[in-house]
Amino acid sequence: MKRVLAMHKWAYFLVFLTILNTSAPSILNSELKFGSKEIEFAVLSENREAVMEFCQGKGCTYVGQITTIYYHIKCPTRKVEKFGGEKKMKEIAKKFYKIQELHMQRMHKNYPRTNDPRWAEMWPLNGAVQPSLKVTEAWSRGYNGQGISIAVVDNGVQADHPDLMKRFDLFNSFDYRDPSTHLNDSESHGTPVAGLMAAEANNSVCIVGVAYACKIIDVRLIGGETSDIMEAKALRHHLKVVDIYSNSWGPIDKICYNSIGPVTESALIDGVTLGRNGKGSIYVYAAGNGGPKDNCNADGYINSVYTIPITSIGVDGKATSYAEVCASAFAAIYSGTTDLSLTSTSRGSDCKVGLEGTSFSAPQASGIVALTLQANPSLTWRDIQHLIVQTSKRYNIEDGFEKQSWQINGAGYHVSQVVGFGLMDAEAMVTRAKAWTLVNPQVTCLTATKEVDMENVYVDFSNELRSYISETGKQCSISSLEYVQVEVFLTFSSRRGDISLILTSPSGTKSYLMTPRPYDSELTEFEYGTLLWKFSSVHFWGEDIRGTWKLTMKRGLYPYTPTANLQSWKLLFYGTSNGIINSTNFKEKTTVKPDGQKEPTPAVTWEDRTTVDFWNIGGNQDTVSPEDDGEQTENSGSSGGLSPGVYGIIVGVSVVVGLISVICRLYFRRLRHTRNLGTTVTRPRIFVTQSSNYNRI
């Protein structure tokens, strides 16, 4: 009985508090709500009496004063509709009453903040810069990274940092540089990387991480010399435990072609096939800091089909000065510039400012992936790639790449040569993940090697070469592309960095696989050699495989002086099939050329042809390519002194040739299909909040 009476007392007390709260003269901090029966307005007026008079005349309820000039009222929805809606209500209030403005209240969400002292410096998250990464919106939906483990593959993380220690999985951490070293003996890079993805929330220390409830595993690798085996072990460290491997490291920028070791590549394959109980581990990589005079396709880690490269944009909404041209970059995340840098945890239990580089974009992306996996743990490594493609947004990001503006590929995705599919969106990722249908298994198709005959090329006058491969789609079941790789074999006589490679799809999408790298040119100024390399691109995501693929090679920076020649190339397609899923590996068969040499030829057959563009000297030389009409006319005058018989033969042959030409033109009509994607759109330099340029969400 006493317990019942006590409960009644508490009930009365709560009712009293409710009445006290709703009748308070100032409701500045209260939540404005309206349902189906009432609509709330904020009224701008010089005095309370005018508002009361309006309420009496229109059947509204006066709630109270909000500020010195604003008042709060509620009006029945039927009354508002009767008077003609919001616009008419405003007109009546201004005309017949001493009311200056009437603001109908529309609901919006306020998201939880953090008491971490450096929250004000976390501009990519706190709303100070728009558009944001929508991380707080993902938090408000209940996602914080709980249950997800991220391996920080770096130079060490301070295990007892007060902002990281509760997130640190010491038992599963390991030092591959020196197993005898105490893990807490960290260096300056890994700790701020870890903080951006996993720093604890609301502990009054430094910052808060994107996935502040995830577990971090310290995998110490960089900071000294490493071997292929060391890297492979680090990248498959505890496959059964690790969900995401976050990598903010790579080979030297700007020079050389740095391949991934075979053991490391095998480790990545193990990761995507065996990790997360067969769903595949997620490998996030910083795309590199070489700037516009570098290209990430020279980095074997970044152009791997098993990794997710992430690049950087600055607070001004532009690609950062260190962002590379990168055909394999999926998306961009904010990072520091000279205008405004990032803040994160640092060794010595401290907090560090001044952070710049793609190294600090990648961990934020890893955190967003963690939120996404928490929303749907069934997602595979390829589902994550598809989600990034479909939810990243262009806004009006300026990528600074003058040769090719943003374009819309054949599947409708906005794509950039520098920042991929745009800025990542955490809220869109977790929202789409909840109702996501898993993608079909991956299918891989391989073309025959296209040999390029250079004997008929006028190398003295040509700097640009075009080669074509056409696909009918009859023997390749891919209906929607993901990655496209181009294996190129070329020779160079000097200045290897002067070359450019551009792949154009049947839909007209251009991808700059390689761009001039002046530092690599200086390195090879007086050297000659060969290059066999796979260049990767995600720019054709979702496109149809069928049609003519064009590879354009610009063989040097200066006219008449080519420094390289294309010897051969072939295409590797990765994608999905809506029909029967074929094997992901085609068996190769060997055919014998007439000269007795053996040539490996895939089971997939292809039709191809090559053409070369020449410098047009004096405007008197023309080159016919599949994109032209195939007609070159010349005023030949009369038949001269030809006899009627000879003239008749010539006319007859001309008629036959004409018929053949018409038939060929009809057959190859689709080879001439072009799209004008080079139009530059002038956009405001202000980085806006809203944009209709979404990537199909």
Using CA atoms, how far apart are residues 656 and 392, in angstroms rounded to an integer?
55
Look at residues 159, 130, 135 and name the one whose alpha carbon lies nearest to residue 145: 135
> Residues for the chain: how many in total?
697
227 given a catalytic annotation? no
Using CA atoms, how far apart are residues 554 and 552, in angstroms rounded to an integer?
7
291-326 as b/e, with b when 16 or more CB fall inside 10 Å? Answer: bbbbbbbbbbbbbbbbbbbbbbbbbbbbbbebbbbb
Distances (CA, A) of 626 to 191, 388, 551, 570, 619: 55, 35, 13, 19, 20
The C-alpha R_g of the chain, in whole angstroms, comes to 32
Do residues 325 and 418 touch, judged by C-beta distance below 8 A? yes
Give me the catalytic one of 248, 341, 359, 507.
Answer: 359
Give me the catalytic one of 154, 218, 253, 608.
Answer: 154
Angle at 508 (CA atoms; ends 614, 518), nearest 5 degrees: 55
| Tokens found for residue 10 | 């508490």
189 given a catalytic annotation? yes
**Residue 642 per-residue DSSP state:** -
Residue with token string 């490996």: 600
359 given a catalytic annotation? yes
Give me the catalytic one of 72, 189, 237, 414.
Answer: 189
Using CA atoms, how far apart are residues 220 and 234, in angstroms rounded to an integer?
8
Residue with token string 């096939």: 273
As beta bridge partners, residue 333 has 312
Look at residues 609, 276, 626 and name the one whose alpha carbon lies nearest to residue 468: 609
Using CA atoms, how far apart are residues 473 and 445, in angstroms rounded to an integer?
10
Using CA atoms, how far apart are residues 642 and 653, in angstroms rounded to an integer?
15
As beta bridge partners, residue 491 has 530, 565
φ, ψ at 260 (rounded to 5°): -85, 140
| Tokens found for residue 680 | 């530059």
- Catalytic center residues: 154, 189, 359
